Amino acid sequence: MIYFDNSATTMPDDSVLETFIKASKRFFANPSSLHHAGMEAERFLQKARTQVASLCGVSASEIIFTSGGTESNNLAIKGTAQFYKGRGRHIVTTQIEHPSVFEACRDLEQEGFRVTYVKPSANGVVTPADIEQAITDETILVSVMHVNNETGAVQPIQEIGRIIQQHPQTLFHVDAVQGFGKVPLNLEGWGVHLMSVSGHKLHGLNGTGFLFKKHGIHLAPLLSGGGQESGFRSGTEHTAGAASLAKAVRMAFESDMEPVRHITEWLYHELGKRPWVNIHTPVAQSAPHILSLSFPGLKGEVLVHALEQEEVIVSTTSACSSKLAKPSRVLQAMGISSELAASAIRISLSSRNTMKEAEQFIEALDRVVPTLAKKRNERT
């Protein structure tokens, strides 16, 4: 099987699983307990926090362990909105955000917040000047993803951060789920106050992640309870999950993405030779592992299932949206028609994929697309 759906989730690395199993067996006690076993688990949890923080170049007190990207995004956005609503009730984000950001902002609109959704350019990249124009004296948060999960377009985080630094009342949140460990992101230098990361995009485990919260930034917690994670995320800490996450983060930073970029660029070149495919990933400003393609006249989900018969696994849109059977909101925001957006698929690689797999994917596509097109023409 050729697995080209790594933006949905990655296969857990054996060393991550080994770390999780060992930690589960040895440090199973509740880290909040006062007995020796609990205190030992607490020390191990803090060790994992320190490791993640060190790799990110931040302080351990700035890392909040969560269940993944969705929780981190919701905590960042809703937590900021509720804590700072006395300062203002305006939020700026984009039309191409992940559902966990987009829908969180929709929820806040129901509570009386005003949200500006900035439109991207035709290549899927937002313009910093448009973000700047959207900011007002009432803006308490700007939330922009680093790498788009459908197209791979890299957003100008550094330039946006520079703009936000001129607005001291405004916080800057970055959804780094797709870009973390793959595309450089300078938290301190680029003025990022909040950053979301998910473990299962890094060959870690589902249900693991963290939110970077810069020192001095306050959030209203989403969960009421025992006040774990410095009061920001109540609930018994997932010690083994945190340890496995620290391992996955270390591996991500040690991974070489250049071979992945080489494969993706080869795919881009080969796909460009075929008249029946459109490529929506920008050449000059994209992550090394994602390509967005559409096939006029075909349905994306039909193509996904046809490729699966060839033992090639790809996806349509974001895994969080694919079952809705609607054309990609992200592609439509880029000005792509609903018909063309409905024919889109996403291929996403990891460091485990090979050039041979890429060649086999092209061969499978060359078999599948003409066959599906012929069947479509026969029906019409």
Which amino acids are annotated catalytic? 320
Element housing 194 (H / E): strand 194-198
Looking up tokens 């078999």, which residue turns up?
A: 367
Q: How far, in whole angstroms, is CA 17 from its chain's centroid? A: 22
Other C-beta atoms closer than 10 Å to the C-beta of 303 total 22
How far apart (Å, rounded) are the C-alpha atoms in residues 68 and 175? 11
Residue 321 token pair = 């949206």
Contact by Cβ (8 Å): 109, 115: yes
Element housing 63 (H / E): strand 63-66
Closest to 345 in 3D by CA, of 328, 362, 320, 323: 328
Contact by Cβ (8 Å): 227, 42: no
How far apart (Å, rounded) are the C-alpha atoms in residues 68 and 180? 13
Cβ-count burial 185-214 (b if 16+ within 10 Å, e if not): bebeebbbbbbbbbbbbbbbbebbbbbbbb
Strand partners, 115: 91
Looking up tokens 């939020």, which residue turns up?
A: 91
Would you say how long the chain is, in residues? 380
For the chain, the maximum distance between any two Cα atoms, rounded to a whole number of angstroms, is 73
